[in-house]
Structure 1
Amino acid sequence: MWRNYLTTGVRALVKHKTYSFITIFGMAIGMAACLMILLFVRYETSYDKWVPGAENIYQFQTWFRDPDTGEEGQVQMAPYVTKGLLQKDFPQIENATYALFSAPVVFMNGQAASTKDYIYVADNFLDTVPLPMLHGDKAALDRPNVVLLSRSEAVARFGTDNVVGKTFSLISKGIRTDYPVGGVFQNLPKNSHMRINAIVRVDMGTYMANEPQFLDCWGCQGGWVYLKLKPGADPETITRQLHAWEKRNIPDQNAGEARFNAGDFSDWHVVNIRDVHLGRAQEGAMSPGNDRKTIVTFGIIALLILAMAVVNFTNLATARASQRAREVALRKVLGAARRQLIIQFIGESILIAFLAMLIALAMVEVLMPAFAAFLDADIKVRYFGADGIALPMVALVLVVGVVAGTYPAFFLSRFQPAQVLKANKSSSEAAGTGRLRTALVIGQFAVSIGLMICTAVIYAQTVYARTVDPGFKRDHIVQIDGLNRYQLINSGNQIVERFKNVEGVKAVGRTGIGIATDGNNNTGVMVPGNPKPVNIGFYNVDPGFLDAMGMRMVAGRWFDENRPLDNATLPFPPTPEAQTALAARGANIVVNESGARRLGYTNPRDIIGKQFRVAMVEDQFGLVPVTVVGVAADARFRSVKQPLDDIMFVSGDSGHQVLIVRYQGDPAAMRGRLESAWREITTEVPFDAKFSEDIIGELYRADDARAKTFAAFALLSVVVGCLGLFGLAAFTAERRTKEIGIRKVLGARSRDIVRLLAWQFSKPVIIANLIAWPVAWWVMRDWLNSFDARIALGPTPFVLAGGLALAIALGTIAGHAFRVARTNPIHALRYE
């Protein structure tokens, strides 16, 4: 019996090649998309599951909320002081460690080279977060002044990974230190929120000798705290006790006559390392994270594409029912039960699903390397094992086969032999089947139109993010990092003067907030009449910054190097005498428009000349009186997803992080000249320069990748929908051949016939638009609201998507329509 069913199914596929191609290929596209997204979703949800004991390892995060404005921010980092206090107050914690972000300079063979993803630790980091060792012993980190390297870092620096015992020289805080290599650990896989190339063991008190306030500062976010809980410990218990914990440990601070507590602005969260990558906190991360909405969205798209392929099968199976009606009738006459027929047709559906899966696997094997490289993900196609896809493949074949074949099976098996076999009559068009196919086609096009609208909106928002006016002229800018290196702290003026003399340089400026900055620096401002300090961004610049960035003033003036109060330079490390002097004499400041509004002035001109007191020095020296001398236009230094910074600028000769150079001429030649000038000043700090266009490109790279991936899957949905429509149009035209012949005999012209068929397939598209538009509007409105700067959600993408869908539908059926319309009526009337 089963062999007979298989033979019948194969013959049906071979006999109707167009039908077979459309159903199998369409289903293969749906399955391939489903498998690729399944692998992507599995990869995104697998982060840090490879870490031994990951279920007991947690990251301690700092979430901020401004009590005045309600603005929120979630940061993966935490103050250094929290690590020791957590261990002291919570016996559930077995180990805790603090990893300080650092970017020291490697000094080897007389050459300085930049580093990436280095962390400095004050204890054995691997006791809390066990990383797999390749050479040496993790116990090497039990003693200070030792370094562990990743395999790739060891090979990059020494040419081999067998480097235990060799000396590794690092320049940090202006001091060159030789560290023996105590071990080499395996490269961290890409599915980890951690990015670590080296672990440097130091004595934190000695390392921070010039910045001792960092060790007990509750507002300093420079590293990550990890906790290893004892087996069976409940992290929720710790979370519930954190409010009382902060009340016990965070001291009050003075702000003039007012007192405030850093805990008023902070909330603390204990997050398992497996949840960090997709968690809410994505600021201050070692590596870019993702969000669960994106993962769910891709999963829904995969299911929709697969559902469209299933709809194709159902539509075509019911449309060609007349071709199977006599077969069913004869089988019933010969004694076949309805249950046997249902099993036969579902079996044929499973056979089609199986053949489609073979093609889908070939697609996945071919496309997955490029897909993974595009997403910068280490996604492997494995068939067996814990992360194999063999079982999901089998499940997908069975589920798709059964779901796709159930309705056609029940529909075909209910034909009555007496009605089918008499006088060439067919019951293929049973009541309701035409309406069902129409409803399914509407659903298909609603999905395709919705995805096209979403793709258009996402693309437009991505282009807008890249091109929106940021408030400064971001073309022809080179941004050079490294000014905050100890070797260059007192060389800022020398660098500026040297670069001004480089051919093609138009302006040079120093700043603590550059293009696509990833750091935050805030301070408290006492506003007259407000007993609480106002938190505002606080960044050091120099007089050349305005012209170098191409910013403009909206009121007052910019800093002038000839006015003493415009210079608020403090020596490093700050001496008590210098801080006392600054607090006594005060300083001039410039705010941006958002900063003026934050301080209570909607009209920028009204804040000129106003005085405030600012926490610019340590608490014991009091607040510094400042006078606002200018208001700069708002400038967006971060992604359009983030709100504009409320900024207070202060001018000084030191304390900057980056150098901004505005230039003209050839970019490559300019970079070469700037590097030569840099090396004339220092050989211990590498030249780390990026063009503004490259910085912006990197800022939105992940968004671009997601948008293009979304567009690719939206295109697949259109292809699947068009395949189904093509097949349905072919069968419809065939079924209406006699009707069309009669119409032509009665005087209908070819264009009338084409219009008739075109209108038949246009109606579902129009109805699909009425369904897709409000759904897409609601989804895209919610998505756009996650951006601080966004496009307006106008009618253009909706009209374009609807028009394109209609054009695609008409183009898909045009060939059939013209062919049938031009058929000689004589042939049509001899059809039966």
Structure 2
Amino acid sequence: MLKNILKIAIRSFWKTKSISIINVLGLSLGIALCLIIALFVRNELSYDKHFPNAERIYRVTSDIVFGGNAMKMTYAPAPMADALVEEIPEVEAAVHFRNQGSFLIKRFEENIKENKVIFAGKDFLKVFNIPLIQGNSKGALDEPNTMLISQTLAEKFFKGENAVGQSLVLDNKTDYKITGVYEDIPENSHFDFHVLLAAEGLPEAKSPNWLGNNFQTYLLVNPSADVREMEQKITAMTEKHISPVLKQVLGEDFTLETFRESGNKLEYALQPLLDIHLHSDLQGEFKANFSITYVYLFVAIAVFILLIACINFMNLATAKSSNRAKEVGVRKSMGSDRKDLFFQFMTETFLMSLISFSLAIFIASILLPFFNDLAGRNLKLPLDGIGFYISLLLGSILVGFTAGIYPAFFLSGFKPVNVLKGDVSSGMKSAKVRSSLVVFQFSISIILIFCTIVLFSQMNFIQNKNLGFNKEQIIMVHDLYALGDQKQSFKQQILGSSLIEKGTLSGYLPVSGTNRADNPWWVLGRDIQDQENLVSIQNWRVDFDYINTLGMTIIQGRDFSMDFPSDSSGVIINESALRNFNFEGDPIGQKISTFSGNNISGLDTENLEVRTVIGVVENFHFESLKENIGAVLMYLDPNPTGIASFKFRAQDVQEVLQLVETKWKELAPGQPFTYEFLDERFASMYASETRIGKVFAAFTGFAIFIACMGLFALTAFTAEQRKKEIGIRKALGASVSSLVLLLSKEFTKLVLIAFLIGAPLAWWGMKSWLENYQYKIDLGFGIFFLVAVVVLLISWSVMGLQSFRAANSNPIDSLKSE
């Protein structure tokens, strides 16, 4: 019996081979895309799970509102790690990190630049328990000037040797002894450092100042710990340590109650390690995280694509009902019951599903490298795992059942008396179902098109928005410290070229990943015990040419000038700082002050640093457009470090690169030359969104393609069913254009209904997404119009081709048998 069923299935497939091939290809492509998304989602959900105690590791996060600034950060005070272990019994171990950027590393003469370097506390291995390939984990980071390195770095410097006990030189000045080599941290981690330097040798790590938030702090809790209770204990602990320091600043009358009543906040919470990658977007993340929202979005896209492919199958199966009606009638009159016919049709569907799944593996293997390039991942098909094939088999059964259940019920339900008389009017019910499914397909397609257009429009808005500075044609040369006392000479030699317009030396630039420093300032003479007089503000060290090079605009006062020696104590502030300081009268010439530094007990409130406002610069974006523009002040740096930035006029970028690299090698022989362009660094701030946009656009394109495959086949089949009607109309004088309109009209109505359903849903979803941005596009009528035009053009091009072929056929061919 099974042999007979398979024969009938193959004959049915071959009889309508063009439509069957479209069905299989559409289903295979849909399954392949779902398979890729499933691999991607599994990878995103696996972040940090490789750490042995991942479920017991938490990160301290801070939520601070003070002096007009609101900050949600990964940073905590330097003394917090030790205090957690000493004062909270549930904490088994704690470690803090301090990121100070990249380092030059060498063993002998030649340096390499390593970006993945961080200072780590002595209990790092207790918290994260990373296996050591060489060395002993006990006391590995207890001593100053010691380090742990990754297996990759060990292979680079000590291939075939034991690295433990040997040394590397950092930044041409400090020897660090290697105490261990650890396995490379997997890519699916929220950090993946190659070098861990002992924080014991970092003076800042010993600071007792509880008001400085510069360290990322992680803790390992015991299995029975109640995290909510622990957070309450951490709050009590921080209040105990911070209150005396704040009293130094704000006076003996200070209380935390009045601090909060003034609208300020200083709170610390615990964030599970396993939540960081998908649930965290704070200042100070080690690298860009993903978002659980995007995971849900990709799961939805996978389901939608698979549904579209299944709907194609259902539509075409029911559309072919008139062709198979007589088969059903004959078989029922010969004794077949509905159960046998249902089993026949379901077997055909499962067979097509198995073929589609087999083909899907091949398609996925072709598409996966392109997806990896778009998404910045390194995914692989697990072809060597038995679980993979079991999952595919179960998936083919599920898809076969989903796609085949309705057509099988429908086709097996024909009454033999009616169909043998030629009455298949019950097919009208299937036509309504098909129409509903087409509407559903195109509603999904419209939602995806709408979201893609909005996402790319927002990214284009960001790239072209007036940022308050000029990011074009500026090259950034890193690691100025490698030049020693030749920094100014380097700048002047570069500026001597006709290719270069301007240049500045400063590590503080208006893009993320460059230097930042934040201090409270106030107008000199105002009572700092009144918390409203304190302004939390970014302090940037710049040179005389900074504002001019970056194309910023002075709106009051003037720029720094060598003609005014007093500018060494001057500052230029931005509009946000001007508003927060609330000066009385003209701000130019007014004096502002801050604490001059730290002493052993915390803030030094005896000595103040006083500066004079000489200018106000127009607001410029220095963080993501998701954030409001904060307060910034700039003052002259007598010994600039970090980055040299040059504005160039040449169209040939290679000429500029050759010039800068040649001068670098002359002044810093043997030091690696590292550069990037300011506009590229700015674009990298939105790399995650840009990647998501490209991936989303690709999947949208595939979803539309699959939907159009179904529409193409359905239009062709409808035209075939109406072949005689078309012949009669042509014989009576109907034009080709009127016939094309006739055949396309019904499907056009369905597409328009789909637009009325899908567009409002997409508008609501993207409006919610845009709420993440302080600066965003307007979801006006233009986007709705654009989406409508795109959808109609796609659908008309698909329907029009088939309709034109049918309308242009010779009526004699369709009427000669009548």
With structure 1 as the length reference, what TM-score do the two structures score? 0.89
Q: 1:738 aligns with which of 724, 736, 739?
A: 724
Q: 1:101 aligns with which of 95, 99, 102?
A: 99
Task: Name the counterpart of 2:207.
Answer: 215
Give the AA of the match of 1:217. N
Task: Name the counterpart of 1:91.
Answer: 89
Task: Name the counterpart of 1:550.
Answer: 551
Task: Name the counterpart of 1:39.
Answer: 39
Q: Is the 8 A contact 1:753 1:817 kept in 2?
A: yes
Paired residue secondary structure (2:29) = helix
Q: 2:511 aligns with which of 516, 522, 530?
A: 516
Task: Name the counterpart of 2:693.
Answer: 707
Task: Name the counterpart of 2:283.
Answer: 283
Question: What is the CA–CA distance in structure 2 between the aligned matches of 1:73 and 1:620, rounded to whole Å?
Answer: 24
Task: Name the counterpart of 1:23.
Answer: 23
Matched, 1:662 2:654: no
Matched, 1:694 2:689: no
Question: What is the CA–CA distance in structure 2 between the aligned matches of 1:268 and 1:531, rounded to whole Å?
Answer: 21
802-811 or 100-109, larger mean C-alpha shift: 100-109
Task: Name the counterpart of 1:572.
Answer: none
Q: 1:191 aligns with which of 185, 188, 196?
A: 188
Deviation at 1:609, TM superposition (A): 3.7
Q: 1:78 aligns with which of 65, 70, 76?
A: 76
Deviation at 1:280, TM superposition (A): 2.1
Q: Is the 8 A contact 1:321 1:428 kept in 2?
A: no
Paired residue secondary structure (2:192) = coil
Task: Name the counterpart of 1:273.
Answer: 273
Paired residue secondary structure (2:140) = helix
490-499 or 277-286, larger mean C-alpha shift: 490-499
Paired residue secondary structure (1:811) = helix
Deviation at 1:631, TM superposition (A): 0.9
Task: Name the counterpart of 1:236.
Answer: 228
Question: What is the CA–CA distance in structure 1 between the aligned matches of 2:741 and 2:79, rounded to whole Å?
Answer: 76
Task: Name the counterpart of 1:595.
Answer: 577
159-168 or 366-375, larger mean C-alpha shift: 159-168
Task: Name the counterpart of 1:761.
Answer: 747
Q: Is the 8 A contact 2:66 2:536 kept in 1?
A: no
Paired residue secondary structure (1:111) = coil
Deviation at 1:517, TM superposition (A): 2.9
Task: Name the counterpart of 1:582.
Answer: none
Q: Name the CA shift for 1:754/1:378 in 2 (closer, same or farther; >3 Å).
A: closer
Give the AA of the match of 1:711. A
Give the AA of the match of 2:473. H
Matched, 1:525 2:545: no
Task: Name the counterpart of 2:535.
Answer: 534
Map Cα deviations across residues 387-408 of structure 1 (whole Å, 9 max, x no partner).
x533432232122111111111
Give the AA of the match of 1:589. V
Q: Name the CA shift for 1:259/1:249 in 2 (closer, same or farther; >3 Å).
A: same
Q: Is the 8 A contact 1:761 1:810 kept in 2?
A: no
Task: Name the counterpart of 1:507.
Answer: 502
296-305 or 555-564, larger mean C-alpha shift: 555-564
Deviation at 1:415, TM superposition (A): 0.9
Task: Name the counterpart of 2:297.
Answer: 297
Deviation at 1:418, TM superposition (A): 1.0
Q: What aligned pairs does 1:353-752 form with structure 2 within 5 A after superposition?
A: 353-383=353-383, 385=385, 388-422=387-421, 424-430=422-428, 432-483=429-480, 485=481, 488=484, 496-497=491-492, 499-501=494-496, 504-518=499-513, 519-526=515-522, 528=526, 531-532=531-532, 533-568=534-569, 588-600=570-582, 606-618=586-598, 619-654=604-639, 656-665=641-650, 666-678=652-664, 686-752=672-738
Deviation at 1:763, TM superposition (A): 1.0
Matched, 1:181 2:178: yes
Paired residue secondary structure (1:80) = coil
Task: Name the counterpart of 1:584.
Answer: none
Q: Is the 8 A contact 1:537 1:647 kept in 2?
A: yes
Question: What is the CA–CA distance in structure 1 between the aligned matches of 2:817 and 2:614, rounded to whole Å?
Answer: 91
Q: What aligned pairs does 1:102-117 form with structure 2 within 5 A after superposition?
A: 102=100, 103-117=102-116
Question: What is the CA–CA distance in structure 2 between the aligned matches of 1:260 and 1:627, rounded to whole Å?
Answer: 32
Q: Name the CA shift for 1:820/1:135 in 2 (closer, same or farther; >3 Å).
A: same
Q: Percent identity?
A: 29
Map Cα deviations across residues 355-376 of structure 1 (whole Å, 9 max, x no partner).
1111111111122133224322
Task: Name the counterpart of 1:307.
Answer: 307
Deviation at 1:497, TM superposition (A): 4.7
Give the AA of the match of 2:502. A
Paired residue secondary structure (2:164) = coil
Question: What is the CA–CA distance in structure 1 between the aligned matches of 2:374 and 2:155, rounded to whole Å?
Answer: 26
Paired residue secondary structure (1:191) = coil
Deviation at 1:427, TM superposition (A): 3.8
Deviation at 1:521, TM superposition (A): 2.0
Map Cα deviations across residues 124-164 of structure 1 (whole Å, 9 max, x no partner).
42121111322333236054243221121122233446433
Paired residue secondary structure (1:464) = helix
Question: What is the CA–CA distance in structure 2 between the aligned matches of 1:68 and 1:339, rounded to whole Å?
Answer: 76
Question: What is the CA–CA distance in structure 2 between the aligned matches of 1:366 and 1:291, rounded to whole Å?
Answer: 27
Q: Name the CA shift for 1:676/1:733 in 2 (closer, same or farther; >3 Å).
A: closer
Deviation at 1:503, TM superposition (A): 5.6
Q: Is the 8 A contact 1:151 1:161 kept in 2?
A: no
Question: What is the CA–CA distance in structure 1 between the aligned matches of 2:115 and 2:688, rounded to whole Å?
Answer: 19
Give the AA of the match of 2:277. H
Q: Is the 8 A contact 1:99 1:125 kept in 2?
A: no
532-541 or 711-720, larger mean C-alpha shift: 532-541
Question: What is the CA–CA distance in structure 2 between the aligned matches of 1:566 and 1:492, rounded to whole Å?
Answer: 21
Unpaired segments ≥5 residues, structure 1: 569-587
Deviation at 1:796, TM superposition (A): 3.3
With structure 2 as the length reference, what TM-score do the two structures score? 0.91
Task: Name the counterpart of 2:63.
Answer: 63
Question: What is the CA–CA distance in structure 2 between the aligned matches of 1:80 and 1:685, rounded to whole Å?
Answer: 33
Deviation at 1:304, TM superposition (A): 0.7
Paired residue secondary structure (1:44) = helix
Count of aligned positions:
796
Q: Is the 8 A contact 1:161 1:184 kept in 2?
A: no
Deviation at 1:729, TM superposition (A): 0.6
Deviation at 1:715, TM superposition (A): 0.3
Question: What is the CA–CA distance in structure 1 between the aligned matches of 2:503 and 2:67, rounded to whole Å?
Answer: 37
Deviation at 1:454, TM superposition (A): 1.7
Give the AA of the match of 1:295. V
Give the AA of the match of 1:223. F
Question: What is the CA–CA distance in structure 1 between the aligned matches of 2:725 and 2:662, rounded to whole Å?
Answer: 83
Deviation at 1:247, TM superposition (A): 1.4
Q: Name the CA shift for 1:456/1:616 in 2 (closer, same or farther; >3 Å).
A: farther
Give the AA of the match of 1:592. N
Paired residue secondary structure (1:721) = helix
Deviation at 1:801, TM superposition (A): 2.5
Deviation at 1:316, TM superposition (A): 0.7
Question: What is the CA–CA distance in structure 2 between the aligned matches of 1:278 and 1:190, rounded to whole Å?
Answer: 15
Q: Name the CA shift for 1:156/1:698 in 2 (closer, same or farther; >3 Å).
A: farther
Question: What is the CA–CA distance in structure 2 between the aligned matches of 1:25 and 1:781, rounded to whole Å?
Answer: 35
Considering only aligned residues, what root-mean-square deviation do their CA atoms show, in Å? 2.8
Q: Name the CA shift for 1:400/1:493 in 2 (closer, same or farther; >3 Å).
A: same
Question: What is the CA–CA distance in structure 2 between the aligned matches of 1:4 and 1:20, rounded to whole Å?
Answer: 20
Q: Is the 8 A contact 2:494 2:663 kept in 1?
A: yes
Q: Is the 8 A contact 2:63 2:73 kept in 1?
A: yes
Give the AA of the match of 1:434. A
Deviation at 1:352, TM superposition (A): 1.4
Paired residue secondary structure (2:627) = coil
Q: Is the 8 A contact 2:106 2:169 kept in 1?
A: yes
Q: Is the 8 A contact 2:163 2:180 kept in 1?
A: yes
Question: What is the CA–CA distance in structure 2 between the aligned matches of 1:808 and 1:17, rounded to whole Å?
Answer: 25
Task: Name the counterpart of 1:573.
Answer: none
Q: Name the CA shift for 1:318/1:786 in 2 (closer, same or farther; >3 Å).
A: same
Q: Name the CA shift for 1:671/1:754 in 2 (closer, same or farther; >3 Å).
A: closer
Question: What is the CA–CA distance in structure 1 between the aligned matches of 2:726 and 2:112, rounded to whole Å?
Answer: 78
Task: Name the counterpart of 2:169.
Answer: 169
Map Cα deviations across residues 16-57 of structure 1 (whole Å, 9 max, x no partner).
101211111111111111110011000011011111122222
Give the AA of the match of 2:622. F
Question: What is the CA–CA distance in structure 2 between the aligned matches of 1:463 and 1:161, rounded to whole Å?
Answer: 51
